[in-house]
Amino acid sequence: MGLFSGGGKMGNGDRIRILIVDDHEIMRDGLGVLIRKYPSMEIVGQAATGTEAVKLAAQLCPDVILMDYAMPDMDGIEAAGFILSANAEVKILLLAATLPRRCIDSAIGAGIVGIVLKDSTFDELATAIKAVCNNETYFCSRIMNAITGRYVKHADPDCMAEAWILKNREQEILRHLSNGMSSKEIARQIHISPKTVDACRRQIMDKLHIDNIAGLVKFAVREGITNL
186 touches 155 (CB < 8 A): no
Answer yes or no: do 101 and 54 share one domain.
yes
Torsion sign across C-alpha atoms 49, 15, 38, 1? positive
- Split into its structural domains, the chain has a count of 2
Tell me if 6 is assigned to some domain: no
Tell me if 51 is assigned to some domain: yes
| pLDDT band at residue 148 using 50, 70 and 90 as cut-offs | low
For residues 185-203, give the mean pLDDT.
89
CA distance 69 to 66: 10
Tell me if 22 is assigned to some domain: yes
For residues 118-123, give the mean pLDDT.
91
Answer yes or no: do 82 and 187 share one domain.
no
Write the CA distances from 135 to 16, 97, 131, 132, 204, integer angstroms.
13, 25, 7, 5, 18
Instruction: From 218, 93, 101, select the one nearest 164 (Cα to Cα).
Output: 101
**How many CA atoms lie less than 13 Å away from 7 in the CB half-sphere?**
1
For residue 100, the enclosing domain spans: 16-150
122 touches 6 (CB < 8 A): yes
CA distance 209 to 224: 18
More confident residue, 13 or 175: 175
Answer yes or no: do 32 and 138 share one domain.
yes
Q: Is residue 162 over pLDDT 80?
A: no
Q: Is residue 103 over pLDDT 50?
A: yes
Answer yes or no: do 58 and 90 share one domain.
yes
Torsion sign across C-alpha atoms 15, 16, 21, 22? negative
CATH number, domain containing residue 77: 3.40.50.2300
Answer yes or no: do 104 and 127 share one domain.
yes
**Surface-to-core class of residue 197, CB atoms within 10 Å of its CB (0-12 exposed, 13-18 middle, 19+ buried):** buried
